[in-house]
Structure 1
């Protein structure tokens, strides 16, 4: 496969995301990390901050690019000549939701496939929400998120009035 897109809000990027990105980079020559503007969520980090955190976290990988996006994912994939979307699933609830999204994206872009990658057992419980909650309660997030995320969260904490 030439190009795949791994979309998400990445607020913040987690070690689960990094695992999926690493695995996707072994499946395709180019992986585009599509950092989404999601108007239905109120992110902790702005779009530039999220893109920067993802970029720093995947700097060791070749063939991976971070691009912000808004709008329809099917259109974004077409604009970037992607053959497939990569989506991670942690359980049956994720699978049901991702199947529905895959069907919608297939209608919008018939050439686009969706590849569902099951989360690894070591990272399957990690979500951005979990990272933020553990940090908020002074827990160690070293096994949940890249070190740059801890630094960014500390900086956010210091910026509070």
Structure 2
């Protein structure tokens, strides 16, 4: 019997973008199960709680049966070991992403020698996308409809839009 191939797509997902969703969809083509793991870092100020981010991701991936939503804190390499994951999947937008991600992949591999890191290049339409950019545009009421899944657009605008005034 073949062992289930599990991958982890870690991130803050604050909020989830179409770029994140694209990487998750593509991961589903390669792995039996994809765990979308929300980083729970109490020291980091986020617009949405861990639970809210998990719930929004759940709505965005509801049509992907092999996707599981979870959260973690601590070392990714240890979390991956606990979940019996064989790979971490990360998206790369630019050369600057690669330098950081390469360092993290070597660190994770050092901590968990059985863990591989797989990099997906983003699609051209998602190259500029990041959660930070989405939040900045949303803060001032800009159109983020081409940046985030439609099912969570109202959540983001309700939470982040300030009418152009930073609070």
Shift of 1:39: 4.1
2-structure distance, mates of 1:51, 1:121: 27
Q: Which runs of 5+ in 2 are unaligned?
A: none
Q: Alignment partner of 2:38: what SS? A: strand
Residue of structure 1 equivalent to 2:119 = 116
Q: What do residues 59-102 of structure 1 show as CA deviations (whole Å, max 9, x unaligned)? A: 11120000011111001101111000001110111001101000
**2:97 equivalent in structure 1:** 94
Cα distance in 1 between the residues matched to 2:76 and 2:157: 32
Partner of 2:37: 34
- Structure 1 Cα separation of the partners of residues 156 and 12 of structure 2: 16
CA distance in 1, matches of 2:157, 2:82: 37
Shift of 1:16: 0.3
Q: Give the Å deviation of 1:150.
A: 1.9
Task: Give the corresponding residue for 1:9.
Answer: 12
| Superposition deviation, residue 157 in structure 1 | 5.1
Secondary structure of the structure 2 residue equivalent to 1:82? coil
CA contact (8 A) 2:139 2:160 kept: no
1:149 aligns to 2:152 (yes or no): yes
Equivalent in the alignment of 1:104: 107
Distance in structure 1 (CA, Å) of the matches to 2:159 and 2:83: 33
> What is the alpha-carbon root mean square deviation over aligned residues?
1.7
1:127 matched to which residue of 2? Answer: 130
Q: Which residue of 2 aligns with 1:25?
A: 28
- Offset, 1:18: 0.2
List gaps (5 residues or longer) in structure 1. none
Structure 2 length-normalised TM: 0.90
* In 2: Cα distance, 1:157 partner to 1:21 partner: 24
